[in-house]
Structure 1
Amino acid sequence: MRYLWMDDYLLEKRGVTKDLQPVWNWIRYKIGEKMFAAICLDSDGKPYYINLKLRPEEGDFLRHQYPDILPGYYSDKVHWNSVRPDGQVPDELLKEMLDESYALVLGSMSKKQQRAALGISCCGTECKTCPFYGGQCAGCNESGGKVFHAPAGKACPIYACSVQKRRYVSCAGCSALPCEIWKSVRDPAMSEQQFEASIHERMKKLGRK
């Protein structure tokens, strides 16, 4: 297999896990519980196909451009495609195809499932790293925004704006980020410098700079 970078490239994506499906002998890459790519292995453990998902029109176009891109092996051949691992598909094109597959599968989930799969709240916080998580607080995604620091019975103002009012998956969809609501919701124990650093880190996790 010539695409030796593939495993590291996929596992660097947020929320991605991998496993081995022993019956098929496929290494599967998943976001949440949904597969978005696979390396199909023969009985000797040698890759013979890379499976990934594309929009039907894109997959059809690429199959006509590259003989090493085929209808999906053992898959829905409208949406899934197979790439020969020792073929001539350019590395950058394969990366774009894998990115597209990841985005398509993630986008097929509900907004709540997307946040859970990515392991972050709507504001980019990793709830599981919080000392209150699992005890005093169930986390933003699980509680519908009614986290430990929110007013009793109400959602955190950030969650209320982003998810409940604007129907975003996360604040990443908002052009005003970081907004005044973000700046008003803060840990009082943080210094100004620490708070600014936390905003920068959360924006980075949301894919914003």
Structure 2
Amino acid sequence: MHIEELREYCISKALTTEETPFGPDTLVFKVLGKVFLLVGLDQVDELTFNVKCDPEYAIELREKYEHTVFPGYHMNKKHWNTVHANRQLSDQALRELIDHSFNLIVASLSKKDQQKFIDLK
């Protein structure tokens, strides 16, 4: 997976926006204003990104993919992972981690905001 594929996948998700609130070098994907993925735009040789993760699942992933999944860089390490693309995980597995992060954020939204997803269907 390369950064363009990552971006396209993220922005294809319902009610998602992309922003650069931390400056021009970090792209942030949000669903209804809440962050689900961050990626540095200056990455050329190796793509890494941060995604939210269930705490127990985060530990499991770090143990199983010790060369690929790490505690979130500059993030709450209990709830965020830094993932190195193009190592141990397939593109499909990377998309599943993005989906997991997105779904955690959606589940944390107010019932009113969650209704917006139901209304889209």
Q: Pick the TM interval, shorter chain.
A: 0.7 to 0.9
Give yes or no for contact 1:37–1:52 (8 Å, CA) kept in 2: yes
1:31 to 2:28 alignment: no
The alpha-carbon deviation at position 2 of structure 1 amounts to: 3.4
1:46 aligns with 2:43: yes
Query: 1:3, 1:85 within 8 Å by CA — same for their partners in 2?
Result: no
Figure out how many residues of one structure are paired with residues of the other and give that number. 118
Cα shift at 1:113: 2.4
Structure showing the higher strand proportion among its residues: 2
Amino acid at match of 2:60: F
Larger radius of gyration: 1
Unaligned runs of 5+ in 1: 125-204
Alignment CA distance shift 1:15-1:8 (3 Å): same
Distance in 1 between the 2:27 and 2:114 partners?
A: 22
With the length of structure 1 as denominator, give the TM-score of the two structures: 0.51
1:21 counterpart SS class? coil
Any conservation in 2 of the 1:68–1:89 contact (CA below 8 Å)?
yes
The AA in structure 2 aligned to 1:46 is Q
- 48-57 vs 82-91, which deviates more? 82-91
| Residues in 2 aligned to 1:49 and 1:2: alpha-carbon distance in whole angstroms | 10
TM-score (norm 2): 0.85
Q: Which residue in 2 is equivalent to 1:58?
A: 57
Task: Indicate the RMSD between aligned Cα atoms, in angstroms.
Answer: 2.1
CA 1:57 to 1:114, structure 2 compared with 1: closer, same or farther past 3 Å?
same
Runs of 4+ that moved beyond 2 A: 1-4, 21-25, 85-88, 113-116
Aligned counterparts, 1:55-134, within 5 A: 55-66=54-65, 67-116=67-116, 118=117, 124=119
**CA drift at 1:86:** 4.2
How far apart, in 2, do the equivalents of 1:23 and 1:7 lie? Answer: 17
Distance (whole Å) between structure 1 residues aligned to residue 19 and residue 105 of structure 2: 17
Unaligned residue ranges in structure 2 (runs of 5+)? none
> 1: distance between equivalents of 2:24 and 2:113?
27
Could you tell me whether the CA contact under 8 Å between 2:85 and 2:94 is conserved in 1? no
Higher relative contact order (CA 8 A, sep 6+): 2
| Residue 52 of structure 1, CA deviation | 0.2
